[in-house]
Amino acid sequence: MIRLLSLCACLLSSTLALAADWTPPSGFKALFNGSDFAGWHGMPHFDPAKLAAMPEADRQALLDKWNADVPLHWKVENGVIINDGEGVYLTTNDAYRDYEFLVDYKMLPLGDSGLYLKNNPQVQIWDYTEAGGKWNIGADKGSGGLWNNSPGAPGKDPTVLADRPFGEWNSLKVRQIGARTSVWLNDKLVVDNALMENYFHRELPILAAGQIQLQTHGSEIQWKNIAIREIPTEEANQLLKKGTGEGFTSIFNGQDFTGWKGAIDSYEVVDGTIRGKVGKGEVLFTDKEYADFVVRLEFKLPPAGNNGLAIRYPGQGNAAYNGMCEVQVLDSEHPKYDKIDPRQAHGSVYGMIPAARGYLRPTGEWNFEEVTVKGSKITVELNGFKILDGDVAAVKEFMADTPHPGKDRKSGSFGFAGHQDPVEFRKIEIKELPVETPPATPEVK
């Protein structure tokens, strides 16, 4: 569990007991004790980055104000949380990274509510009937969608109408790994592994870890049977891999360097992983060359560790400059790298396009990464967060004013650009993509 000390509430904590008529499924922990708001505090729709950036005294004063609002609009009766439709949102004290969350809710006609995940809106809950008056903005499709995703984006609308009639309890299950979000409403999958967009900062992924909020929106709503299961790293990576689809081919047999060449003496195979040798560098790369492709793999960094993914490498020279590019693999949250150029951070197209920072797992844990190379465009998804989506053809400014002569390469090997650290790689798989050819120019007669 990740504790947000800066966002701690002033409510007294107590041991969470189970509601009298409900026991969480195996592996889940109750988040509501059936009698009071222990483990929760108040917070409205508010940018969490702005809150975290406040001076401590100002932040605490705001939290005190929000907490004072909770008893004005929230109460517990017979093991059920009831909100009158107004006031701050009930917010978990703790923040979560990868998890499954359960909650039952019951709302009134004309109701409109939702769940904030990692302090970000939202899994939509609303009146799905025509009388509700919101068919013009998608209510006819039902609840459970990621309503604040961009129009047409995956997850924006639920795939099936799964709401129960008013007066009946609905059951929600949410699984969120990184920003990859799946939602089941009444046991029907309504959002399947969609990226939840950052409402407050569209150019960035959502928070790496954040709190869950029960939204209020003008109509009474009731909540019960609230529980969470934090997903361990190994399981999270397996689920992320499953979400990338089929059609991948393993390019590392886990035993030796069959199918690889280059700086073989700079790496070693240990327990099914490729590991760089301390003090050794140069590029280890595949015999086979690739044009457009998706590569997925897991990597583990030692403290301050440095390596890189060689993309369309020609077999000689510097991967970052002679190849199309190097996608940086770096413990960029280490203090050693506090002042690096943004285009050097983990996941960046080295020296050309910066990636969003702060989405690596703790040092020593396995990270899951997927890199898509399509023409001149590169997308990097790390631990379920899209941290880079760029086009090297559009780059006009280079780090240290040093151009990258290989950036327009159309094919080459895939590999690892060693930088003398024992960075480890495993479960390395590639899916080749069809190369799109431009339409032929009509013959002029």
Q: Give the SS3 label for residue 179.
A: coil
Strand ranges in 108-248 using DSSP code E only, listed in sequence order: 112-117, 120-126, 170-177, 180-185, 188-195, 213-214, 221-230
- Which of 14-28, 107-121, 375-389 comes out lowest in average pLDDT? 14-28
Residue 154: Cβ within 10 Å count: 15
At a CB cut-off of 8 Å and minimum separation 6, what does 292 contact?
373, 374, 375, 432, 433, 434, 435, 436
Break the chain into its structural domains and give their ranges.
2-231, 239-432
* Alpha helix (H) residue ranges in 29-176: 48-53, 56-73
pLDDT at 2: 43
Q: Which residues contact 77 (CB under 8 A, 6 or more apart)?
A: none
User: Does the pLDDT of residue 440 top 90, yes or no?
Assistant: no
First-to-last CA distance in the chain? 70
Name the residue among 393, 362, 387 with its Cα closest to residue 372. Answer: 387
pLDDT band, residue 418 (cuts 50/70/90): confident
The mean pLDDT of the chain is 93
Residue 1 has pLDDT above 70, yes or no: no
Residue 99 has pLDDT above 60, yes or no: yes
Q: Which amino acid is at 136?
A: N
Distance CA 216, CA 115 (A): 9
pLDDT at 5: 32
C-alpha–C-alpha distance, residues 148 and 196, integer Å? 8
- SS3 label, residue 238: helix
Give 29-81 pLDDT, tens digit per residue: 999 999 999 999 999 999 999 999 999 999 999 999 999 999 999 999 999 99
For 116, 310, 320, the CA distances from 325, given in Å and listed in that order, are: 37, 6, 5
Nearest-10 Cα torsion for 407, 410, 412, 418: 20
C-beta atoms surrounding 15 within 10 Å? 7
Give the per-residue pLDDT at 4. Answer: 41
Q: How do residues 296-329 score in pLDDT, each as one tens digit? A: 999 999 999 999 999 999 999 999 999 999 999 9
Whether residue 438 has pLDDT greater than 80 = no
Whether 254 shows a pLDDT value over 90: the answer reads yes
Residue type, 285: F
Q: What is the pLDDT of residue 343?
A: 97
Res 9 pLDDT > 50: no
Which token pair is 285? 């790369």
Identify any residues that bridge with 308 across adjacent strands, giving them in sequence order.
328
CA 94 to chain centre: 18
Take residue 381 and report the two structure tokens written for it. Answer: 């998804």
* CATH class label, 2-231: mainly beta
442 against 163, higher pLDDT:
163
Nearest by Cα to 195 from 142, 155, 242? 155
Confidence of residue 7 (pLDDT cuts 50, 70, 90): very low
369-417 residue pLDDT tens: 999 999 999 999 999 999 999 999 999 999 999 999 999 999 999 999 9
Is 1.10.10.10 the CATH number for 239-432?
Answer: no
Express each pLDDT in 129-181 by its tens digit: 998 899 999 999 999 999 999 999 999 999 999 999 988 999 999 999 999 99
Task: State yes or no: pLDDT of 119 exceeds 90.
Answer: yes
